[in-house]
Amino acid sequence: MQPSLEGVKIAVLGGDARERALAGELALSGAAVKVVGLPAGGGHEERITACKCLREAVDNVQAVVLPALGVDEKGHLHCPSAGRPLILTEELLLRFPAGIPVFVGIAGRLLTEMAGRCGIRLIELLKMDEVAILNSIPSAEGAIQMAMERLPVTIHGCSAFVLGFGRTGCTLARMLRAIGAKTRVVARNPAHHARIREMGLEPLSYRELPGLVKEAEVIFNTVPALVLTEDVLSRVPPSALIIDLASAPGGTDFKAAERLGITAVLAPGLPARVAPKTAGQILARTIAGLIVQERCGG
């Protein structure tokens, strides 16, 4: 059941189709939602007020939601369809009602520093397991969709490598197996190797990777560190496809891949691209739960 947000005012600043769906979900839970710079059409418009500026939106609210992608290095809020830049300044942060939760996916350096200086209570949703695990579903589906669009062979029967066995790697490996890919998972933790084997998949260590990667038709990286080095890439067949899901700059030496004639694609923000409604619902449910918990003093 949706937690009730009846009587709660929430500002959603900037965003894309994911935040549009999120605003609709919060409104469905009973919140009065003020938005700025969002695309139209997420549903429940009667409870959503479009504001002209950020200052107007944050007036007298009990929570603020920033785009999952936060702000860029100049403080611009992610808002591709706003038609104008929306900039989060310290002056604006100081106007937020004191002590309210400010939700974001991943904050990044600038926002973290600004929030620290302004005494803002940031909650980074994509760092929470309950969000990241659910978010891994549209991420994995999106990665497989990209592979299907680019590969000349079916995923069924193809030789797939998944690097990393965290929240995203685990979901992706399970989906690949279900589709029938011959799936190997590269991980460094012995307990993860046991789990990978239990799932009917083949675990590999990073030491074993260079010796076997010549068999890869598709490689999915989820490790946010350089694991597909020039040395490893030099053993990857040029016909193989690399899809790197890790946050920028990814875990692939993209320049080396290009020199070696291997197609390697960095694939950020897949949930918002392939399933914005689901991605928005995942965030909205957690936000609603946290707000209700705070209001109940839990």
Determine the residue with CB nearest ligand NAP: 166
Closest to ligand NAP by CB, 227 vs 264, is 227
Q: Tell me how many degrees the CA angle 87-85-123 measures, rounded to the nearest 5.
A: 45
Closest approach of Cβ 54 to ligand NAP, in Å? 26
Q: In the complex with ligand NAP, which residue's Cβ is closer, 14 or 142?
A: 142
CA angle centred on 186, ends 184 and 192, rounded to 5° = 100
Q: Whole-number minimum distance, CB 167 to ligand NAP, in Å?
A: 4
Closest CA to 244 of 224, 215, 229, 259: 224
Whichever of 31 and 137 has its CB closer to ligand NAP, that residue is 137
Q: Which is nearer to ligand NAP, 61 or 245 (CB)?
A: 245
Minimum Å distance from CB 9 to ligand NAP? 30
User: Cβ closer to ligand NAP: 96 or 220?
Assistant: 220
Backbone φ and ψ of 134, nearest 5°? -70, -35
Nearer to ligand NAP, 31 or 246 (CB): 246
CB of 246 to ligand NAP, least distance (A): 4
**What is the nearest approach in angstroms of ligand NAP to the Cβ of residue 16?**
13
State the nearest-atom distance from the C-beta of 278 to ligand NAP, in Å: 13
Shorter beta-carbon distance to ligand NAP: residue 117 or 188: 188
Secondary structure of the chain in HEC code, one letter for each residue: CCCCCCCCEEEEECCCHHHHHHHHHHHHCCCEEEEECCCCCCCCHHHEEECCCHHHHHCCCCEEECCCCCECCCCEECCCCCCCCCECCHHHHCCCCCCCEEEECCCHHHHHHHHHHHCCEEEEHHHCHHHHHHHHHHHHHHHHHHHHHHCCCCCCCCEEEEECCCHHHHHHHHHHHHHCCEEEEECCCHHHHHHHHHCCCEEECCCCHHHHHHHCCEEEECCCCCCECHHHHCCCCCCCEEEECCCCCCCECHHHHHHCCCEEEECCCHHHHHCHHHHHHHHHHHHHHHHHHHHCCC
Query: Where does this chain bind ligand NAP (CB under 6 A)?
Result: 132, 135, 139, 164-169, 187-189, 222-225, 227, 245-247, 267-271
Q: CB nearer to ligand NAP: give 103 or 165.
A: 165
